[in-house]
A and B are shown apart, each in its own frame.
Chain A
Amino acid sequence: MAEERIIIAGFGGQGILMIGKLLAQAGMLEGKHVTWLPSYGPEMRGGTANCHVIISDAPIGAPMVTEATGVIAMNLPSLDRFEGSVQPGGWLLLNSSLIPRVPARSDLRILPVPVNEIAQQQGSQRVANVVMLGACLALSRLVQRASIVAAIEEVLGHGKQHLLAINLNALEAGLAFASPVPV
Chain B
Amino acid sequence: MARKLMKGNEVIAAAAINAGCRYFFGYPITPQNEIPEYMARELPKVGGVYVQAESEVAAINMVYGAAGAGARVLTSSSSPGISLMQEGISYIAGAELPCVLVNIMRAGPGLGGVQPSQADYFQATKGGGHGDYHVLVLAPANLQEAADLTQSAFDLADRYRNPVMVLADGMIGQLMEPVELLPARPAVDLPPKDWATTGTATSGGRRRVINSLYLYPDQLEQHVHALYAKYAAMEHAEVRYELHQCDDAEVVIVAYGTTSRIARSAIEKCRRLGLRVGLLRPITLYPFPFAAFEQVIARTQAFLVVEMSMGQMLDDVKIAVAGRKPISFYGRTGGIVPTPEEVVKQVQALLGGGP
Contact = CB atoms under 8 A, between A and B. Distances in A.
Nearest to B4: A28
Q: How many interface residues does chain A have, given as a range?
A: 20 to 34
Interface in B172-187: 174-178
Contacts of B337: 64
A66 B114 contact: no
Given A40-B114, A62-B340, A35 B177 contact: yes
Nearest to B343: A62
Contact of B264 (A25, A33, A62): A62
A43 to B, nearest CB: 10
Chain A CB within 10 A, most for which of B5, B177, B335? B5
Contacts of B265: 61-62
B166 to A, nearest CB: 19
A68 interface: no
Interface in B256-283: 261-268
Interface in A36-67: 36-38, 40-42, 59-64, 66
A36 B261 contact: no
B128 interface: no
B3 A28 contact: yes
Contacts of A71: none
A41 B114 contact: yes
A41 B335 contact: yes
Interface in A1-51: 21, 24-25, 28, 33-38, 40-42
A37 B171 contact: yes
A28 B177 CA distance: 9
Contact of B339 (A35, A36, A40, A64): A64
Contacts, number: 63
Interface string B107-118: 000000111000
Contacts of A36: 5, 175-177
B30 interface: yes
Interface string B178-220: 1000000000000000000000000000000000000000000
B174 A66 contact: no
Chain B CB within 10 A, most for which of A33, A34, A41? A41
Contact of B176 (A21, A41, A42, A61): A21
Given A61-B340, A62-B264, A66-B340, A37 B178 contact: no
Given A21-B176, A34-B178, A37-B171, A62 B113 contact: no
B335 A63 contact: no
Given A24-B176, A40-B30, A63-B171, 20 more contacts: A25-B5, A28-B3, A28-B178, A33-B178, A35-B177, A36-B5, A36-B177, A37-B171, A37-B174, A40-B31, A41-B114, A42-B114, A61-B262, A61-B264, A61-B265, A62-B261, A62-B265, A62-B340, A64-B337, A66-B339
5 contacts: A28-B3, A34-B178, A35-B176, A40-B174, A41-B113
Interface of B: 3, 5, 30-31, 113-115, 170-171, 174-178, 261-268, 335, 337, 339-341
The 9 A-B pairs with the shortest beta carbon distances in the complex, nearest first, are A61-B265, A61-B264, A36-B176, A62-B265, A62-B262, A28-B178, A61-B261, A66-B339, A41-B115
